Amino acid sequence: MKTLLGVAAAAGAAFALGFASMSLADDPTPHFAPWGFDLAGRDTTVAPGADFYDYANGTYVKNLVIPPDRSRYGNFDALSALSEDRVHTILERAAHDPAARGDEAKIGDYYRAFMDEDRINALGAAPLAPFLPEIRAARTPAAIAQLMGKANATFFHTFIGSDVQVDAKDPTHYAVYLGQDGLGLPDRDYYLEPAFAAKKAKYQAYVAQMLTLANWPDAEAEAKAIVDIETQIAQASWTLAQDRDPTKTYNPMTPAELAAASPGFDWTAYLNAAGLGSATRVVVSENTALPKIAAIFAQTPIKDLQAWEAFGVVDSAAPFLSKPFVDAAFEFRNKTLSGQAEQRPRWKRAVSAVNRAMGEAVGQVYVAAYFPPEAKATMEALVANIRASLVARIQRVTWMTDATKQRALQKLAQLTVKIGYPSKWRDYSALRIDDDLIGDVNRAAAFEWRRRLNHLGQPVDRTEWGMTPQTVNAYYNPTQNEIVFPAAILQPPFFDPAADMAVNYGGIGGVIGHEMTHGFDDEGRHFDGTGALADWWTPADDAKFVVQTTRLGAQYSAVEPIAGTHIKGDQTMGENIADLGGLLLGLDAYHMSLAGKPAPVLDGLSGDQRVFLGWAQVWRGAIRPDALRQQLVSDPHSPETARVNQVVRNVDGWYAAWNIQPGDPLYIAPDQRVRIW
Ligand SMILES: [Zn+2]
């Protein structure tokens, strides 16, 4: 439900850590010389109006070698790598410090358990022992439904996903959400589109390989049955674009009504096993898919459902098992699906695992060591400027009636902002960590699910964060009407207090504007200022909004990043609207910050030109073809080249700043440019 920026997750003061804190004020040297933008990374043989992404980033991209253990690399990823290094330092220290106590000791223990490769290899498939017999013993549909109900708290897989989230129509309370699940490939397209036939065939071989490693009988035949089951589920499943409709995905009903509408699946057994047996109301997302998925369940032989569960457990547990499992999962999941050439070093995988299991315990140490308090105040001032720019834009739009404008302004006034880290840290004291890695992973999942279950019946806790502070990303959360910026994104290339402010307004200013615009994109606009899914639009305003977004969708759908594969304009609509709003707001806020004074010229570049370069630099990078293909079908974000070129060509100020003329390849006539906010 949250809308992210990019692709596609102990007691602070008590830790007297010796890390050198980054200081904002004392470091006058920008990260990117000479003034925050890497001029040498441009390709000045390319005209800005021909390909602005290449003009701004071309030499960097041409010389870039994607590290063998990555499927993409660029400025965004380099910052993620810095965060990874820092968490590595934190975990090494916690793992080897005999004085570590509480959560710091736990993250150290978890890390040590992951790094103990000798022990893990010696155990082989033994850590699967608690799970596979339970699957063999599940010989009835009700027993399989029970396994599926336990999916959130174990390694079991499920045809039906469950979650406890803020109720979209009553955002002061939580609700039980149920939806489609059950696919082992990144998206339904991988099962249904001819372009993915080779990947699907390799998936079937991978399923057979995993079942063989787990000593499951009839591996080859069961692999075929499993892929057939998932293909049926894929056919029944909604697309990512359909899932972006907050109204159509809100279908409240009683469990009895759900069971009547979707016969063939033991909903009572499932809900009881999930810990949701006392729920009197559930919100179903894909209400036309669930009856079909229940029917697929009913007609699948028990032995195939058992094999499907066995594969699911092994697939999920593989990264925490011995080398044959790790290698097999890497070969398929990373190499075949994403084109990644080499396995990531073990410590990097350990960092990801600890971040996933105990992210706020890590984050608390991270913030104490690496987040300068002054960054928060600077960020608050920037957010205020961007908000003022959006107020002015809403007041100026010509297509919207005054009544709807007032509601939009009211929603913007109610928007709340979180910067850096949570005011209240998560309490991990009930989570036990020891040297049994599979047990740790399982207990962490169960701990997290218990935490969510405990929300039911409680008032909504507005202090919670959906990302850890060490995550390089940001999000808008529509049911809280809030924008959230973790500490780790407040660094170059996004934010550099030593850099020229125009570059910062194009970078972090654009990011703030992006998240703020999500509140008014094709999805966020259906929520009001309190976070409730409650339409505040007149039909006439609604129709005019759709005219603009339809035009934007057509622009993106025309882009073909891989021969034969286009951007999905509907799937990426919200992110594309947010990118357009983000850049416009960054530019406006920069102008506002000049307070009537002329912008300085640096290296022959005007202030406005540097705002556009700052935006382009954020998205500078490269991606492997298989990863790009995966992004195009399974990610709501457009590829980075489009996040630059398709955005700037709708911005009037870009034409003025770079003297773009009719005949330039990116040129769009003024009356055809998309103007939403
Ligand atoms: Zn976004």
Query: pLDDT tens-digit profile of 280-330?
Result: 999 999 999 999 999 999 999 999 999 999 999 999 999 999 999 999 999
575 Cα–ligand 1 center, Å: 5
515 Cα–ligand 1 center, Å: 6
Mean pLDDT, to the nearest integer, of 532-545?
Answer: 96
Q: How far apart are CA 61 and CA 596, in angstroms?
A: 37
584 Cα–ligand 1 center, Å: 15
616 Cα–ligand 1 center, Å: 16
420 Cα–ligand 1 center, Å: 18
* Residue 675: other Cβ atoms inside 10 A: 18
306 Cα–ligand 1 center, Å: 39
Q: Which segment of 12-16, 83-87, 169-173, 661-665 scores lowest on mean pLDDT?
A: 12-16
26 Cα–ligand 1 center, Å: 32
98, two tokens: 């005999």
Tens of pLDDT, residue by residue over 455-470, are: 999 999 999 999 999 9
578 Cα–ligand 1 center, Å: 6
244 Cα–ligand 1 center, Å: 13
Measuring CA to CA, which residue among 414, 482, 467, 470 is closest to residue 90?
A: 470
557 Cα–ligand 1 center, Å: 18
166 Cα–ligand 1 center, Å: 20
Measuring CA to CA, which residue among 539, 497, 503 is closest to residue 618?
A: 503
Q: What is the mean pLDDT of the chain?
A: 95
511 Cα–ligand 1 center, Å: 9
467 Cα–ligand 1 center, Å: 14
494 Cα–ligand 1 center, Å: 15
Mean pLDDT, to the nearest integer, of 487-513?
Answer: 97
Mean pLDDT, to the nearest integer, of 242-260?
Answer: 98
7 Cα–ligand 1 center, Å: 9
Question: Crossing angle, helix 289-299 and helix 141-149, to 10 degrees?
Answer: 130
Q: Is the pLDDT of residue 122 over 80?
A: yes
Q: How far apart are CA 605 and CA 602, in angstroms?
A: 5
Residue 661, helix vs strand vs coil: coil
Query: Do residues 67 and 485 make contact, with C-beta atoms less than 8 angstroms apart?
Result: no
622 Cα–ligand 1 center, Å: 19
Q: Is the pLDDT of residue 69 over 80?
A: yes
624 Cα–ligand 1 center, Å: 22
347 Cα–ligand 1 center, Å: 30
Q: Is the pLDDT of residue 28 over 90?
A: no
26, two tokens: 């004392």
Ramachandran category for residue 618: left, alpha or beta (phi over 0 → left; psi -120 to 50 → alpha):
alpha
668 Cα–ligand 1 center, Å: 24
Q: Is the pLDDT of residue 10 over 80?
A: no
Contacts of 608 (CB under 8 A, 6+ apart): 502, 587, 590, 599, 653, 656, 657
242 Cα–ligand 1 center, Å: 17
Q: Is the pLDDT of residue 9 over 60?
A: no
3 Cα–ligand 1 center, Å: 5
600 Cα–ligand 1 center, Å: 31
Query: Do residues 643 and 577 make contact, with C-beta atoms less than 8 angstroms apart?
Result: no
438 Cα–ligand 1 center, Å: 34
Measuring CA to CA, which residue among 228, 225, 188 is closest to residue 306?
A: 225
118 Cα–ligand 1 center, Å: 42
Tens of pLDDT, residue by residue over 323-351, are: 999 999 999 999 999 999 999 999 999 99
514 Cα–ligand 1 center, Å: 6
Cα–chain-centroid distance for residue 481? 18
Identify the pLDDT of residue 207.
Answer: 98
315 Cα–ligand 1 center, Å: 30
251 Cα–ligand 1 center, Å: 25
Q: Is the pLDDT of residue 20 over 70?
A: no
- What is the reported pTM? 0.95
Identify the pLDDT of residue 267.
Answer: 98
Mean pLDDT, to the nearest integer, of 397-405?
Answer: 96
Identify the pLDDT of residue 560.
Answer: 98
Query: Do residues 252 and 282 make contact, with C-beta atoms less than 8 angstroms apart?
Result: yes
327 Cα–ligand 1 center, Å: 33
4 Cα–ligand 1 center, Å: 4
Q: How far apart are CA 55 and CA 39, in angstroms?
A: 10
518 Cα–ligand 1 center, Å: 7
5 Cα–ligand 1 center, Å: 4
Q: How far apart are CA 296 and CA 233, in angstroms?
A: 7
126 Cα–ligand 1 center, Å: 42
Query: Do residues 569 and 555 make contact, with C-beta atoms less than 8 angstroms apart?
Result: yes
Tens of pLDDT, residue by residue over 616-657, are: 999 999 999 999 999 999 999 999 999 999 999 999 999 999
649 Cα–ligand 1 center, Å: 19
617 Cα–ligand 1 center, Å: 17
Cis amide bond preceding 639, omega within 30? no
2 Cα–ligand 1 center, Å: 9
Identify the pLDDT of residue 667.
Answer: 98
Mean pLDDT, to the nearest integer, of 214-235?
Answer: 98
24 Cα–ligand 1 center, Å: 27
Per DSSP (E only), the strands in 256-345 are 282-284
Mean pLDDT, to the nearest integer, of 150-167?
Answer: 98
Identify the pLDDT of residue 16.
Answer: 26
9 Cα–ligand 1 center, Å: 14
520 Cα–ligand 1 center, Å: 12
Identify the pLDDT of residue 304.
Answer: 98
47 Cα–ligand 1 center, Å: 28
pLDDT band at 11 (very low <50, low <70, confident <90, very high): very low
605 Cα–ligand 1 center, Å: 29
Identify the pLDDT of residue 1.
Answer: 54
